[in-house]
Amino acid sequence: MKTNLKMIVMSCLLVATFSNFAQATLTHHDCKYDGTVVVRDSALSSSYYVDGTKSTDLRVEKRSSGYYNITTGALNLDIRNKSNPGSASSSWYNFQAYCIEKTQSIKFGHNPSDTYGYGYDVVDLSGYNGISNSEVSFLGKLWANAFDISKTGAVQAAAFQALVWEMVYDSSNDLDDDNFDLYRNNTFTKDVYELAKDWTKNITDGIWTDSVELFVLKSDCSQDFITTVPEPSSMALALIGGMMLLGRGRRQRVA
């Protein structure tokens, strides 16, 4: 069963506000130092987003009545293996991602005010939040064929993000019913809806067949991200290393 959306107005990119003192004294139970990899905002673009993709105009229907606006955009982040110490630029690898949760904040701050970031685990997309194999397949094809397009503008990024949320929260892929509905009473949301429907048709009609393997960067305290490993890339070492450490930890707990 899909997770019901909470009826609160919250962007997936609403950043928790901490004082400088609080940022310096975060403890282990805050999840900052949990996980097998570390993720932070990239200094290559402003305020988390790939330049030109951010928008606050996407309207989502409330389950009772009315709508609220939510921030969308392709995320530009950095990652490193947690076992790789230091904050030198050579330790970090740039990558792009999308939010996978809709009502969870990002806990790390903007770079360069926050150069450490937050700890994450690397998990398979399959089985995350009850996502089915068919939904994993859909997202793999969406990423392989539309991800580069999604980084070219705000409408494109919002359409991509909307389809990710549709797969995570709804049992039917229509953007109209259940737990994730687009409220199409402004031009931006109408354009997003039409583009998302076109992309969906390309997948369901078998026009888009290429696919990629996707992962989730998961935190108990911060926004989860969906991404893939670009090839060739040193980022693969961080993700694969994170998955190996996670698997080893699970085996030790079972033993």
Domain-by-domain residue ranges, the chain? 31-254
Number of H helices and number of E strands within the chain? 5, 8
What's the average model confidence in pLDDT over 176-182?
A: 78
- What torsion do the CA atoms of 166, 98, 204, 207 make, to the nearest 10 degrees? 160
| pLDDT confidence of residue 223 | 95
Under the banding of pLDDT at 50, 70 and 90, the label for residue 2 is very low
What's the average model confidence in pLDDT over 47-59?
A: 94
**Angle in degrees, CA 179, 138, 123, rounded to 5:** 85
* 198-250 pLDDT tens trace: 999 999 999 999 999 999 999 999 999 999 965 545 565 566 555 554 444 43
* CA 106 – CA 53 distance, rounded (Å): 18
Average pLDDT, the chain: 81
Beta carbons of 167 and 138 less than 8 angstroms apart: yes
| pLDDT confidence of residue 54 | 96
* Token pair belonging to 190: 């109408």
| pLDDT confidence of residue 58 | 95
Residue 159 pLDDT exceeds 90: yes
**83, 6, 78: which is closest to 45 by C-alpha?**
78
Contacts of 17 (CB under 8 A, 6+ apart): none
What's the gap between Cα 39 and its chain centre? 12
Residue 109 burial (10 A CB sphere; 0-12, 13-18, 19+): buried
Longest dimension (CA), the chain: 56
